[in-house]
Amino acid sequence: MHNSHSVKRTVLASALAATTTPLLAQNLALEEVIVTATKRATTIQEISGTVNVVTGESLEKFNALAFGDIEQQTAGLSLISPNARNSTIAMRGISLDPEAGASGVVSVFWNDQVIRTDVAFSQLYDMERVEVLRGPQGTLQGRTSPGGAINLITRGADTSVSDGYVEATFGDNDGINTQVAWGGPIIEDVLGVRIAAVYDQNNSNDVENITTGLDDPESEAKSARISGKWQITDNLSSSLVYQYFDRDIEDPKGMSGSDSLGIRPTLDAEDKIALGKTNDFGELDYDLYNLKFDWSLGELDLVSITGWTDSKKFSGTQNDRANYVTDPQSLTNQTALTDVNTFSQEFRLSSLDNDFWDWMVGVFYLDQETRTEFVSHRSVANGPNPITGDVSGISFSSFGAIPVDRKEWALFTHNTFYLTDATSLEVGLRYTDYDSFRRADVFYGGLNYVPAFYPEFLVPIIEEQLEASFPIEGVSDDFQSTEEDAVTGSLTLRYEWSDATTVYAAYNRGYRPSGISINPTPSVQFLPNGEADLVHDEETSDSVEIGFKGRYLDGRGTLNGAVYYQQFDGYFGFVRGVQVLNDLGEPEDISGGLIHNGDASIWGVELEGQFLISENWVAGGAFSYTKGEWDDGAEAPCNDRESGEILGFCDIGGENLGGEPELTVSLNTEFVMPFTATEWYIRGLYKFTDDRDNTDASAGIGITRGSFESNQVLNLYTGLRSSDSTWDLSLWAKNLFDSDEVTYEQGPDQYDLEASGGSYTQSNIQAERTIGITARYNF
């Protein structure tokens, strides 16, 4: 018996380089999108799981210039950058605060190479496609994750065809984005190269700081990439990709609130006004190297992928955001430098086009060394000034280092059994070994400033008392190293119901290793069990998904859908603002927040489709509904204490899981009107995001809002291009109706609480309406 899958894969192999976008075919049908989510070239319709693809063409059509713009083109995915230092990804209602320090819910890859989330949040240019894999990834992907995975695939070098483009975009947000790319053969059919580069600048968050005088913040990024391909023999090929990136962001923090002392201005989030005496900033630069070998050995295929990442992130944060410490000599800011080196290696050996059993085995290794060095300045006063509320006081500095290292190695296998012409069974298994190390030490840095009213003879005494509190050992020897292992996997049954529809049922297991909340603060000693209360257990999850893939009306329409249920044992929750009572019964901050475990469950429904209405009109959309709740009996640290409790615990059973919206919808359409030598087009991109909880209000301190309102964003594009797509000129408006809902809010800082009881929150709003123009020339 020879099943139809062999014929399909032969076609796919030849088509992979030719098409990866849903273009219009001559018979008025959507061409199928080819992906490598299963480490083999296949179509979305043949994958037994939910995979969304944003093609390079779609990124260009909708002027997606940065990683965060991908969120607009799909549903059930959140790409969040609340400030210049931190970024996080959430999927299927599963999220994690970027300050938590635990393994992320979504793994990110660049050309199949593991990268950190902050590296992913950079400019997009010369992209082949972005693959979004939903649900637990416990078999094939380089890292196990409970929410999903994202693979960024750049355009590679070609040994036979030359092409390139030049593009320039200008926006009324002081935005300039210029891109250039060219690729082609150096030696025909043997050696090819491709180079690409981007320069991007805009007005950052457009927040004015009325204290420092900064009224025109700027974000500037530049990147370049070179790719090479070498067809060594007919059966052996190699590719090398190198990418450089550098970005600088001025990021003053917009404030919202009314000063209870009646001195500072009353502000709304829409005012975009900062009050801090210094401006927050973020600098990121990295180098990515990716080396791949693909060797066909008769009926076998051997693939090697070697990755190296060197990234540096330098940031500055003002901790007195509302400027209650008014003396400029009484410093309250901090800086941090994070240096990360990551090496990864994967080998995969797979069979090719067997009649009954296609198999894959592999080994994966990761070595990641992270070191964060910081300098923190703090002001200490004997209470606020009774008239002005000023809490300027003695200012001192501390410095420290937090090394976090992780090594992982894994063995994995994935097998497909073709039981009949219409039925296949997929079985995957992965064993992963984790070896982790972390440490945190804080040292006294010295006095910055002592107010003049202190007698000079007291200065040495003050310094001696401050220095006596250091060093602080944030992670002691007993908790610095952990070793653990896990077995994850998948089981899927797929059935071709008809020529148009395939149905499947899948089971997947996800895993995240244990860890510790790093809190280099003396307050830890007052926890009931001391440092042991900072440790969190591992998290496992089991997911069941039932779905279908459909291609209808002779290929003019596609519709894919799934319903899923995921049960968590030890889900990672995270709370900020938690306080513990000291020996005098006074509350003290656990400044870094606490990770806690609890059982939880999530279920949801996802739909995605596209329809070719006519030869010149196409429409598509995605729908996601997810509902996540803590199970009965789950508890989280909080500030509501029973009598005699040092650290409070609140019942959270039945409460929402994380801060993700339950319902999101993404819709898009394009209409083209052809003329003799040109084409006029109009496009629309719409995104609805339901209301959601504010996880920064979890501890119940201050005036932080408990939830965010739903928001709707509509982008509109229109333009003229040549019929052969050689040139394209477009006019666009993003957030056409100027939606201005608050999207992020953090409660009053420690100086605000001390001076006024808590008057201001730090708030971000939806990016304002931007109007711009893009010109592109393809050659």
Residue with tokens 């860890």: 515
**From CA 501, how far away is CA 681, in angstroms rounded?**
32
Can you give the pLDDT at residue 587?
A: 82
Judge contact between 743 and 779, C-beta under 8 A: no
Relative to beta strand 163-171, strand 175-187 is antiparallel
**From CA 732, how far away is CA 736, in angstroms rounded?**
9
Which residues, in sequence order, are CB contacts of 597 under 8 Å at separation 6+?
Answer: 536, 537, 539, 570, 571, 572, 573
Judge contact between 448 and 399, C-beta under 8 A: no
**From CA 79, how far away is CA 520, in angstroms rounded?**
29
Can you give the pLDDT at residue 747?
A: 86
Q: What is the mean pLDDT of each run of 10 residues along the chain (779 residues)?
A: 41 38 61 84 88 95 96 94 88 83 89 94 96 91 88 96 97 97 97 98 96 96 98 97 98 95 94 96 98 95 97 96 94 96 97 93 97 95 77 93 95 96 96 95 94 91 92 89 95 96 96 89 84 92 97 95 97 87 83 89 97 96 97 91 87 91 97 97 98 75 83 98 97 97 90 90 95 98
Q: How buried is 682 (Cβ within 10 angstroms: 0-12 exposed, 13-18 middle, 19+ buried)?
A: middle
Query: Domain span at residue 394?
Result: 4-333+344-778
**From CA 267, how far away is CA 646, in angstroms rounded?**
36
Can you give the pLDDT at residue 186?
A: 97
Angle at 649 between CA 645 and CA 654, to 5 degrees: 155
What residues form DSSP beta bridges with 263? Answer: none
What residues form DSSP beta bridges with 113? Answer: 110
- C-alpha distances out from residue 17 to 158, 233, 361, 387, 576, Å: 9, 18, 25, 72, 48
Query: Rg of the chain's alpha carbons, rounded to an integer?
Result: 27
Q: Please state, as a whole number, how many other Cβ atoms lie within 10 Å of the Cβ of residue 411.
A: 13
Question: Quick one: which of 49, 174, 65 has its CA closest to 490?
Answer: 49
Question: Considering the domain boundaries, does residue 449 fall inside one?
Answer: yes
H or E segment and range at residue 754: helix 750-756
Question: Considering the domain boundaries, does residue 339 fall inside one?
Answer: no
- In this prediction the pTM is 0.93
**From CA 581, how far away is CA 583, in angstroms rounded?**
7
Q: Please state, as a whole number, how many other Cβ atoms lie within 10 Å of the Cβ of residue 499.
A: 7
Can you give the pLDDT at residue 1?
A: 37
Can you give the pLDDT at residue 260?
A: 92
**From CA 397, how far away is CA 331, in angstroms rounded?**
8
The predicted-structure confidence for 205-225, as pLDDT tens digits, reads as follows 999 999 999 999 999 999 999
* Eight-class DSSP state of 767: P
**From CA 235, how far away is CA 240, in angstroms rounded?**
17
What residues form DSSP beta bridges with 546? Answer: 505, 563
Can you give the pLDDT at residue 347?
A: 97
Can you give the pLDDT at residue 199?
A: 98
Question: Considering the domain boundaries, does residue 338 fall inside one?
Answer: no
**From CA 189, how far away is CA 194, in angstroms rounded?**
14
Q: What is the end-to-end Cα distance of the chain in Å, rounded?
A: 47
Q: Which amino acid is at 533?
A: D
Question: Considering the domain boundaries, does residue 598 fall inside one?
Answer: yes
Angle at 235 between CA 234 and CA 241, to 5 degrees: 95
Question: Considering the domain boundaries, does residue 12 fall inside one?
Answer: yes
Can you give the pLDDT at residue 18?
A: 36
Structure tokens at 667: 């819709």
- Provide the domain count of the chain: 1
Backbone angles phi, psi at 516, to 5 degrees: -145, 140
Judge contact between 65 and 177, C-beta under 8 A: yes
Q: Which amino acid is at 260?
A: S
Query: Mapping DSSP to helix (H, G, I), strand (E, B) and coil, where does residue 490 land?
Result: strand
Judge contact between 542 and 507, C-beta under 8 A: yes
Judge contact between 338 and 372, C-beta under 8 A: yes
The predicted-structure confidence for 61-116, as pLDDT tens digits, reads as follows 999 999 999 999 999 999 988 888 888 899 999 988 777 778 889 999 999 999 99
Judge contact between 429 and 401, C-beta under 8 A: no
Can you give the pLDDT at residue 697?
A: 67
C-alpha count within 13 angstroms, C-beta hemisphere, residue 170: 3
H or E segment and range at residue 361: strand 357-380
Q: How buried is 779 (Cβ within 10 angstroms: 0-12 exposed, 13-18 middle, 19+ buried)?
A: exposed
Judge contact between 664 and 90, C-beta under 8 A: no
Relative to beta strand 51-55, strand 34-35 is unpaired
Structure tokens at 30: 């959507």
Structure tokens at 709: 């309102």
Question: Residue 768 maps to which CATH number?
Answer: 2.40.170.20
- C-alpha distances out from residue 422 to 5, 117, 360, 502, 557, Å: 10, 39, 21, 9, 22
Question: Considering the domain boundaries, does residue 605 fall inside one?
Answer: yes
**From CA 50, how far away is CA 562, in angstroms rounded?**
7
293-296: Cβ within 8 A, 24+ apart: 293/236, 293/237, 293/238, 294/236, 294/237, 294/238, 295/235, 295/236, 296/235, 296/236, 296/352
Question: Quick one: which of 355, 362, 258 has its CA closest to 305?
Answer: 362
Q: Which amino acid is at 256?
A: S
**From CA 391, how far away is CA 758, in angstroms rounded?**
13
